[in-house]
């Protein structure tokens, strides 16, 4: 989206997008920050890319481009504006910077990390390569640029099956999410060597959570993120990335649905589908939740924190991402 497309903002009219999930009195409290952010975006030639786990006032109130990790990476390639504010976590901002080296990329709070990204180093990859010579390294995008640079190709939860199949090999090293790796191995039949990383949000769900949801809500459709342990995925009706879950809801219209993932995902979909019942067994991601309206406003006012990627790792890291984006 170009900045010229960001027209003057009407806070009362914008309430329509969130009226089913945010009380009107609460929406009024967001007016000052949202109006300031809309003005700053125009003044600063900025767009906001927001992950599906943003809270509704961010997701529906100020974001220009919304989606899962894969969509945000793809969309980052087509941004016209000079500044990208990444309402998400650090690895997403790094990915946007790698794909847009000439643009300014801001992350509202530098502490927005990810337990997966923190679980692995390039040395871990070197050790795995030594133990499994010849096996390609498929790295989840939830990693640092340094780790991507030591990899052959990236994947997201939205394209992991296609990426593994595109390699045409019997064995891969897939890091750092042990659960995603096991879930994808089950779907592809490829031998997958992995690393003991896990998402601190999705690893907390258990099969019993799903059993209890079904007992309390007969007929409910259960959708799980593939970062959940395999025994949780086995209890669900469908597993997929946050964008896959959205597509499922939009095409299948389940009357009652439980999303086994981060809390805001249900809120954002419920805002758009007031006719459906959302059961909300959610866990919060503390890193995603650092992207408050206040933090986004301050980032635009101060021009920071700005994300940069070390030039020594930028080129190989970009190569691993671009190789992923080339697989359709
Ligand atoms: P998606 O790619 O499915 O949006 O997942 C990103 C993420 O961080 C999930 O925890
Ligand atoms: Fe990382 Fe999990 Fe948070 Fe996603 S939800 S950013 S994988 S900790």
Task: Report if residue 183 sits inside a domain.
Answer: yes
* Same-domain check for residues 28 and 108: yes
* Same-domain check for residues 8 and 107: yes
Q: From CA 230, how far away is CA 225, in angstroms rounded?
A: 10
| Residue whose CB lies within 8 A of the most ligand 2 atoms, among 107, 113, 147, 200, for a mutation test | 200
Is the pLDDT at 8 greater than 90? The verdict is: no
Answer whether the bond into residue 305 is a cis peptide, omega within 30°.
yes
88 alpha carbon – ligand 1 mean position (Å): 10
Q: Which of 106, 182, 93 is nearest to 141 (CA)?
A: 93
Task: Report if residue 84 sits inside a domain.
Answer: yes
Shortest-distance Cα residue to atom 3 of ligand 1: 241
Asked whether 180 lines ligand 1 (CB < 6 A), one says no
Task: Report if residue 318 sits inside a domain.
Answer: no
DSSP letter string over 92-108? Answer: HHHHHHHH-TTSEEE-S
Q: From CA 81, how far away is CA 86, in angstroms rounded?
A: 13
How many CA atoms, within 13 angstroms, populate the side-chain half-sphere of residue 145? 23
pLDDT of residue 2: 43
Task: Tell which of 198, 225, 245 closes a domain.
Answer: 198
Range of the domain at 29: 3-113+288-302
Task: Report if residue 74 sits inside a domain.
Answer: yes
Q: Is 270 within 8 Å of 10 (Cβ atoms)? A: no
Q: How many domains does the chain have?
A: 3
Tell me the pLDDT of the chain averaged across its residues.
96
Task: Report if residue 140 sits inside a domain.
Answer: yes
225 alpha carbon – ligand 1 mean position (Å): 8
* Same-domain check for residues 105 and 148: no
pLDDT of residue 246: 98
Asked whether 142 lines ligand 1 (CB < 6 A), one says yes
Which of ligand 2's atoms lies nearest the C-alpha of 202? 2
Q: Which of 69, 111, 116 is nearest to 321 (CA)?
A: 69
* Same-domain check for residues 165 and 222: no
Task: Report if residue 326 sits inside a domain.
Answer: no
* Same-domain check for residues 210 and 194: no
Task: Tell which of 174, 198, 222 closes a domain.
Answer: 198
115 alpha carbon – ligand 2 mean position (Å): 6
Is the pLDDT at 4 greater than 50? The verdict is: no
3 alpha carbon – ligand 1 mean position (Å): 27
* Same-domain check for residues 104 and 122: no
Is the pLDDT at 134 greater than 70? The verdict is: yes
Q: Is 264 within 8 Å of 52 (Cβ atoms)? A: yes
227 alpha carbon – ligand 1 mean position (Å): 8
| Residue whose CB lies within 8 A of the most ligand 2 atoms, among 89, 141, 260, for a mutation test | 89
* Same-domain check for residues 75 and 144: no
Instruction: Dihedral sign for Cα 48, 51, 52, 56, please.
Output: negative
pLDDT category at 6 given cuts 50, 70, 90 is: very low
Mean pLDDT of 190-215: 98
pLDDT of residue 5: 47
Mean pLDDT of 47-67: 98
For residue 239, list its beta bridge partners. 224
**248-273: per-residue pLDDT in tens?**
999 999 999 999 999 999 999 999 99
142 alpha carbon – ligand 1 mean position (Å): 8
Which of ligand 2's atoms lies nearest the C-alpha of 115? 8
Q: Is 116 within 8 Å of 138 (Cβ atoms)? A: no
Which of ligand 1's atoms lies nearest the C-alpha of 114? 8
Count of CB atoms situated within 10 Å of the CB of 213: 18
Task: Tell which of 153, 181, 198 closes a domain.
Answer: 198
Task: Report if residue 311 sits inside a domain.
Answer: no
- CATH number where 42 lies: 3.40.50.10800
Mean pLDDT of 169-192: 98
Residues with beta carbon inside 6 Å of ligand 2?
89, 114-116, 142, 199-201, 227, 262, 285, 287-288
**Residues of the chain above pLDDT 90, percent:** 96
205 alpha carbon – ligand 2 mean position (Å): 14
Mean pLDDT of 280-301: 96
The rounded radius of gyration (Å) of the Cα atoms in the chain is: 20
* Same-domain check for residues 271 and 295: no
* Same-domain check for residues 134 and 190: yes
pLDDT category at 203 given cuts 50, 70, 90 is: very high
pLDDT of residue 282: 81
* Same-domain check for residues 164 and 228: no
* Same-domain check for residues 109 and 127: no
pLDDT of residue 328: 87
**70-114: per-residue pLDDT in tens?**
999 999 989 999 999 999 999 999 999 999 999 999 999 999 999
Task: Report if residue 11 sits inside a domain.
Answer: yes
pLDDT of residue 1: 44
* Same-domain check for residues 8 and 104: yes
pLDDT category at 7 given cuts 50, 70, 90 is: low
What are the CA-CA distances from residue 44 to residues 4, 99, 158 (Å)?
Answer: 11, 20, 32
Which of ligand 1's atoms lies nearest the C-alpha of 240? 3
């Amino acid at each position: 989206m170009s900045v010229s497309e960001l027209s003057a903002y009407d806070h009362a009219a914008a309430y329509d997008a969130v009226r089913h999930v945010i009380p009107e009195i609460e929406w009024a409290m967001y007016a000052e920050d949202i109006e300031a952010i809309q003005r700053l975006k125009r003044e600063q030639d900025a767009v906001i890319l927001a992950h599906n786990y943003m809270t509704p006032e961010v997701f529906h109130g100020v974001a220009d481009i919304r989606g899962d990790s894969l969509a945000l990476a793809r969309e980052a390639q087509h941004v016209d504006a000079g500044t990208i504010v990444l309402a998400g976590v650090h690895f997403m901002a790094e990915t946007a910077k790698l794909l847009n080296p000439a643009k300014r990329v801001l992350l509202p709070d530098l502490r927005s990390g990810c337990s997966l990204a923190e679980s692995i180093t390039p040395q871990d990859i070197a050790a795995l390569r030594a133990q499994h010579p010849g096996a390609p390294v498929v790295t989840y995008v939830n990693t640092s640029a340094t780790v991507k640079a030591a990899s052959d190709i990236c994947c997201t939860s939205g394209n992991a099956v296609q990426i593994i199949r595109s390699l045409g090999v019997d064995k891969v090293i897939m890091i750092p999410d042990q659960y995603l790796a096991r879930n994808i191995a089950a779907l592809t039949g490829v031998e997958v060597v992995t690393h003991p990383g896990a998402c601190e949000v999705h690893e907390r769900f258990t099969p019993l959570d799903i059993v209890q949801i079904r007992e309390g809500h007969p007929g409910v459709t259960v959708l799980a993120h593939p970062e959940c342990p395999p025994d949780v995925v086995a209890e669900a009706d469908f597993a997929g990335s946050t964008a896959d879950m959205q597509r499922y809801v939009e095409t299948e219209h389940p009357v009652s649905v439980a999303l086994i993932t981060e809390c805001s995902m249900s809120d954002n979909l419920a805002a758009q589908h007031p006719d459906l019942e959302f059961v909300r067994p959610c866990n919060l991601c503390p890193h995603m939740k650092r992207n408050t309206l206040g933090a986004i406003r301050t980032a635009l006012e101060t021009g920071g924190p700005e994300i940069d990627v070390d030039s020594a790792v930028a080129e190989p890291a970009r190569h691993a991402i671009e190789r992923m984006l080339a697989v359709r």
